[in-house]
């Protein structure tokens, strides 16, 4: 694998900065399974629709989610398989048993 350019490093760092917010991460995770409306995301993450919309705007700008309009509603989903795989790998890593890990 080639080393990423400075511009690519900046994009990666910004992506992880965005995912550092627990509510924003929950919003993104809610979009993993299937396209979902803002109101349903708000219920799933226990946040107001306006807060969810704010987070979705940031996630869309970072190309982490995409929205599809159906009549009067917009349904959001992860932007592509790379995002879904990254999140699945992060979840799997967090669920690993690290009790044997020790620096001593």
Look over the chain and give the mean of its residue pLDDT values, rounded to a whole number. 91
Q: How large is the average pLDDT for residues 7-28?
A: 94
Q: What is the pLDDT of residues 33-75, one digit of tens each?
A: 999 999 999 999 999 999 999 999 999 999 999 999 999 999 9
The residues, any chain, with a CB within 8 Å of residue 87's CB and separated by 6 or more, are 28, 29, 32, 78
Q: Is the pLDDT of residue 100 over 70?
A: no
d(CA 51, CA 1): 38
């Amino acid at each position: 694998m080639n080393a990423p350019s400075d511009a690519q490093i900046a994009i990666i760092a910004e992506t992880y900065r965005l995912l550092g917010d627990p509510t924003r991460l929950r919003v993104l995770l809610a979009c993993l399974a299937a396209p979902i409306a803002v109101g349903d995301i708000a219920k799933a993450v226990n946040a107001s629709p306006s807060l969810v919309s704010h987070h979705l705007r940031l996630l869309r700008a970072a190309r982490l989610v995409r929205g599809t309009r159906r009549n009067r509603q917009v349904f959001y989903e992860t932007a592509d398989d790379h995002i879904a795989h990254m999140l699945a790998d992060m979840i799997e890593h967090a669920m690993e048993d690290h009790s044997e890990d020790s620096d001593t």
